[in-house]
Chain A
């Protein structure tokens, strides 16, 4: 793999440089890609440069949780770098030919900063930075959501990146086609009847659509594990593979879910502004309500739920035997009663607080 990395870097940096790769090793980098870390020593004439790198590689297709394109991810990251101040790591390039890296892969700058964001919460080592980091995280998200879609995605690669028939000509069209996608795939991903909560969510959300909001570029996996921080600022928002055109409230809803599952407290910050949603509303003027966040917490869970359930289904059907997919069943269990509460299940004591019941 060292040779493949060197050649990809040479294409990005210029053919007249010498490149040595050191310290290549796998790292735990999320659940969807095989992630490696290494350092490139680049010599160009008398100039020497050390480039910390991340390699994101597609796992085998049957294991893959999200079937996404490294080419699209590269294009989006470079577009964000060119047109916004959203902190993202430079993408040096991608290789789709599986003969080169063993599967499709991309090479990115390894961002400076701490990725162990759990240290910002629960008496962690960096809890004193939480207020400023979360303030910046909210500002970064707002900039992303307010960015001009035509500028960030001129070729329309984010309109239907999963290729499942999503239409983005209007908010209603987006929502209706997304529900069509959820419901049409449900029967292919239900490995146990306990998944009935997802079906209930799809059907209920379809019956109870909230007010429209302008569509945006959404991160698509905005969660406590997908940013790095340093000196009270977000140094990088990472893992853009599920980014797409969608409702900006989806990112707020998904962060709410993952905050619960990750035992973190992103949504409580910045406390001086009354929490994440309050500050988001102050910056955007969109007046996103708690009921809308609840709605999109379910909607976002449904969106990630489809590919995750599908991958677990393939594991149980014996198409592969990777352990992580069994662990996902356990680790996502706390989300099920939370979803039921948001749907206003009798006995869950929160039916009056959600816009999605019945």
Chain B
């Protein structure tokens, strides 16, 4: 999977494109307003993406605790409302915590490893040209990793319909 440009780079590119390549050519105010709204929503997505998984995991775990705490507080009360609260505490409140993702620079580490494989290819080429046939097998080992990752990348990012703007 590509790490550069990042998802944030692509979203920022959309905001720039709306400013530089779309808005100057829009002639009615309704369209202009829609384009600016689009920029605003794209910026919202940029702000949400880095924290979204962390936030919903933390909030998931906090909400189960709240349901349990509330059930515990009103548990001694008789009546339908208190019963329903108790039931929620015992069911949804008992759902196990989900793991909260750590803020690690996995993309940076991924990039460094990718470049390491790249340099390995150069070294293998040198060995192959010197006649070391075992280097052919070593190259296949690198390619065996690369092929499924290329296919997954292409399947993930491709959109059907051919290249826009060409014939």
Give me the interface of A with B, judged by CB distance under 8 Å.
Answer: 28, 30-31, 115-118, 190-194, 196-197, 199-200, 203, 207, 223-226, 261-264, 316, 321-324, 326-327, 329-331, 333-334, 336-337, 340, 343, 345-348, 358
Contacts and interface: CB of A to CB of B under 8 A. Distances in A.
13 contacts: A192-B5, A196-B146, A200-B143, A224-B166, A226-B167, A262-B163, A321-B13, A329-B2, A331-B163, A340-B143, A343-B143, A345-B146, A347-B144
Contacts, number: 133
Contacts of B115: 193
B102 interface: no
Nearest to A347: B147
Contacts of A333: 153-154, 157-158
Given A191-B4, A262-B162, A116 B150 contact: no
A224 B157 CA distance: 23
A322 B165 CA distance: 15
A253 B13 CA distance: 32
Given A331-B164, A333-B154, A333-B158, A192 B140 contact: no
Contacts of B139: 358
B121 A316 contact: no
Given A199-B118, A336-B153, A192 B4 contact: yes
Contact of A337 (B14, B122, B150, B167): B150
B111 A329 contact: no
Interface stretch (B16-24, B39-47, B61-69): B16-24
B9 interface: yes
Interface residues of B, number: 47
A200 B138 CA distance: 13
The interface centre, meaning the residue of A199, A262, A346, A348 with most chain B CB atoms within 10 A of its CB, is A346
B16 A207 contact: no
Nearest to A346: B144
Among A28, A199, A261, A337, chain B packs the most CB atoms within 10 A around the CB of A337
By CB atoms of chain B within 10 A, which of A262, A327, A333 has the most?
A: A333
B92 interface: no
A261 B139 CA distance: 27
Contacts of A190: 118
B50 interface: no
Given A203-B125, A224-B167, 20 more contacts: A30-B165, A191-B4, A193-B118, A194-B114, A194-B150, A194-B153, A196-B121, A197-B150, A199-B122, A200-B143, A200-B146, A263-B160, A323-B16, A329-B5, A333-B154, A333-B158, A340-B143, A345-B143, A346-B140, A346-B144
A336 B154 contact: yes
B30 interface: no
Contacts of B77: none
B148 to A, nearest CB: 7
A126 to B, nearest CB: 12
Contact of A31 (B9, B162, B165): B165
A115 B161 CA distance: 17
A345 B144 contact: yes
